Amino acid sequence: MEALTGQQILGSGLVGWKEQDRALHASFTITDYSSAAVFIAEVAKAVDAEDHHPDLTLSYGVLKVTMCTHSKGPKVTQRDVDMARRISRIATDFGIAPKPT
């Protein structure tokens, strides 16, 4: 899968995500761990269905998500952009807001 250029990533319309170090990054504000667990479980179902898994880091008040394609070195591909969009839709469905970067 081809790596996307910075311009392609910027033009993809992702809201709340940034590209850095050949990966997409987003942070979501979490009000409590129970809500975070439900959100993470829903994300897990989505990424398992696509067999494309982000790194998730849960800490007090925030869930950080990092997406990249690892094969042949880390890079951002259309598959990452599509999964980032799907994760953002799940967050919206759960009323979870992206944290400004």
The confidence score (pLDDT) of residue 45 equals: 97
Inform me whether the pLDDT recorded for 101 exceeds 70.
no
User: What domains lie within the chain, and their CATH numbers?
Assistant: 6-93 (3.30.1360.20)
pLDDT digits (tens, 9 = 90+) for 33-87: 998 999 999 999 999 999 999 999 999 989 999 999 988 679 999 999 999 999 9
**DSSP structure string for 9-58:** HHTTT-SSEEEETTEEEEEEE-S-HHHHHHHHHHHHHHHHHHT---EEEE
Interacting residues of 93 by C-beta distance below 8 A, sequence separation 6+: 42
pTM for the predicted model, two decimal places:
0.93
Packing angle, helices 78-93 and 33-50, rounded to 10: 140
Section 15-20 average pLDDT = 94
- Residue 37's CB is within 10 A of a number of other CB atoms, namely 12
98: confidence class by pLDDT, cuts 50, 70, 90: confident
